[in-house]
A and B are shown apart, each in its own frame.
Chain A
Amino acid sequence: MLSLRNLHARVGEREILKGLSLEIPAGEVHAIMGPNGAGKSTLSYVLTGRPGYEVTSGTAELDGADLLTLAPDERAARGLFLSFQYPLEIPGVPALTFIRTSVNAQRKARGEVEMSAPDFLKRARACAADLKMDFDMLKRPLNVGFSGGEKKRMEILQMALLSPRFMILDETDSGLDIDALRIVSEGVNALRSPDRSLLVITHYQRLLDYIRPDRVHVLAGGRIVASGGPELAHELERDGYDKFARAA
């Protein structure tokens, strides 16, 4: 599914990713943990093509296709989704309008027929109910005046409606209380399937109690310095990142 080989990337003059390699097969959930400044968010932006994040060497492929030559919207149409650590507000554009426009832009890019307004509304209502969101919130401008937790739910709602194949969750647990964390995690788990993969970026092991990873990786100093099963997350929670930071 996703294959990263010896990826180097910089922001301005500063090199942040320094030879990162990672394989995530279809159907698997991988977690990336690491100290502040390790390059976790940079990785999510490099994969999604944010301007200003320059890949200097290495490769990144999704289902065998070179991601790095594609525009951000082309990557999205191929099924790449990033749940932002800090979701943005779009004044004046109702959430429903924005999501439906996105869904249909992706469909158009893939040569599929557009989703009709009634079909979309039906799906949006169902997704909102699953995430225990008041449907009226979707009629308001996207994320404007929403709390941190509401914004994270809105990200997962968008993810569910866009139905991506490869999902990146960047610190989705931050700003969520325990109840919201459970609801959001259930929303994410509902999307797990043999032909979808998930990359969970987090500081804390807590989220991984809800979204159980197949593999856990430690990112430090711009590289993956350790990989293991779910038990690695518990080890990190207990011992901290010190020994890995030194290894980097």
Chain B
Amino acid sequence: MNLAEAIRLRDPSRLPSRRDENWRWTDLRSLVRTLPEASPVLDSGRLGSGPFEGICVTVVTLANGVGPGAIEVSAGETRTLALRNVSRGEGSHAAHLRITVAAGARLTLLESHEGDGGGLSLLSLEVDLAAGASCERLVIADGGVDAISLVDADIRLGAGAEWGQTLLTNGARRQRLETRVLNPGDGASVRLDGVYVLSGRSHADLTSSVTHSGPQGQTVQLARGVVDDQARAVFQGRITVETGADGTDARMAHNALILSDRAEVDARPELEIYADDVACAHGATVGALDAELLFYMRQRGLPEAEARSLLLASFLGEVIDRIQCAAAAGRMRGWLQGRIGGSVE
């Protein structure tokens, strides 16, 4: 199974299926019987503006998979970069982008996945952070209801490096946002947050794995989401603490609200610990909006829709509160607000 090869060779038998344990809730093979033709080249001058427009000067665009293959942030540099991954039409395409952040450099990566049409797209990111480097990756994935959208990130951290990530998604026909992080410890820290707001028949899969290979590393993860109608969310989070990674501190939480009888959330939080003296915890909850609380709010005069929006905004807003880049956090709040109504304070 190799996604990029499947797309390049237009061979659906290479797509993952429910028989692959890690893909059992996001089955692609039964969905994609034949792979669409390669996507056409887009006129990059006619792609409009992305959700982070105006926050930073540098914008890197991948248009139907065509764009630069590497980004480098040199030692000591501080940079904010918008990365737009734009997919149009019914074709299929795959792109690969390698990002290196040199020692002591700081990168804020404002990444958007903008799709329409019913195509199949894959973006594979490879990110290397040198010792003491830091990167905050903030993602808005607005995939398009008919699209199949796959984003795969491999993150390797140097000693003491800092990785912060917040994914926001409203899903797609099938969508998977996967992140794998290698945390070598030695003060390296990882934050892997996510928010999904799904309705209609959309599907979003937030899969992550963090491997702690050395002592004194930290990982925190908070994923929250809301599913309505016949939507389906998948959360798979794994944290592995290898032998010798003593003193690791890892905390994972996933909380979901289901708003409809026909919506579904599949969650699999996993901690695998082979080291000593570690502080690890995970918690997962799936529930409905609190009916008693809704009544209380309505008694104070809030119409039901407004009461629901306020509860959802506060529930999801706690994830946004953890973002460092204030300007981007504002955009992400606005994006959420547009999907749940009310204001996300």
Contact = CB atoms under 8 A, between A and B. Distances in A.
Contacts of B345: 93-94, 97
B299 A82 contact: yes
Interface stretch (A6-14, A100-108, A181-189, A211-219): A100-108
A84 B296 contact: yes
Contact of A51 (B291, B300, B301, B311): B291
Contact of B300 (A71, A91, A98): A98
Contacts of B300: 76, 98-99, 102, 105, 158, 162
Interface stretch (B104-112, B114-122, B133-141, B313-321): B313-321
A90 B302 contact: no
A121 B298 CA distance: 22
A76 B303 CA distance: 10
Residue in A51, A77, A158 with the greatest tally of chain B CB atoms within 10 Å: A51
Contacts, number: 77
Interface in A105-121: 105-106, 109
A88 B296 contact: yes
Categorize the interface residue count of chain B.
20 to 34
B315 A72 contact: no
Contacts of A93: 310-311, 314, 345
A73 interface: yes
B278 to A, nearest CB: 29
Residue with the greatest number of chain A CB neighbours at <10 A, chosen from B291, B296, B300: B300
Contacts of A99: 300
A106 B301 contact: yes
A51 B297 CA distance: 13
A102 B302 contact: yes
Nearest to B293: A88
Interface string A48-62: 111100000000000
Nearest to A80: B299
B233 to A, nearest CB: 20
Given A76-B301, A105-B303, A92 B295 contact: no
A81 B301 CA distance: 9
Given A92-B314, A92-B315, A73 B302 contact: yes
A27 to B, nearest CB: 23
Contact of A90 (B299, B304, B306, B314): B314
Nearest to A164: B301
B292 interface: yes
A60 to B, nearest CB: 15
Interface string A219-238: 00000000000000000000
Interface residues of A, number: 32
A72 B311 contact: no
A72 B310 contact: no
A51 B293 CA distance: 12
A72 B314 contact: no
B289 to A, nearest CB: 12
Nearest to B295: A50
A88 B295 CA distance: 10
A71 B301 contact: no
Interface in B314-345: 314-315, 317-318, 345
Contacts of B298: 49, 71-73, 76
A101 B310 CA distance: 10
A197 to B, nearest CB: 17
A48 B310 contact: no
Contacts of B295: 50-51, 72
A76 B310 contact: no
Contacts of A71: 298, 303-304
Q: Which of B291, B293, B304, B310 has the most CB of A within 10 A?
A: B310
Central interface residue in B296, B301, B311, B345, by most chain A CB within 10 Å: B301
Contacts of B291: 51
A82 B298 CA distance: 11
* A-B residue pairs, 9 tightest by C-beta: A92-B314, A106-B301, A102-B300, A72-B298, A76-B301, A88-B296, A73-B298, A105-B301, A102-B301
20 contacts: A71-B298, A71-B303, A71-B304, A72-B295, A72-B299, A73-B307, A75-B299, A76-B301, A81-B299, A84-B296, A88-B296, A92-B313, A92-B318, A93-B310, A98-B300, A99-B300, A101-B306, A101-B310, A105-B306, A162-B300
Interface of A: 48-51, 71-73, 75-77, 81-82, 84, 87-88, 90-94, 97-99, 101-103, 105-106, 109, 141, 158, 162
Given A82-B299, A93-B314, A101-B310, 12 more contacts: A71-B303, A76-B300, A84-B299, A92-B314, A92-B317, A94-B345, A98-B300, A101-B302, A102-B300, A105-B302, A109-B303, A141-B314
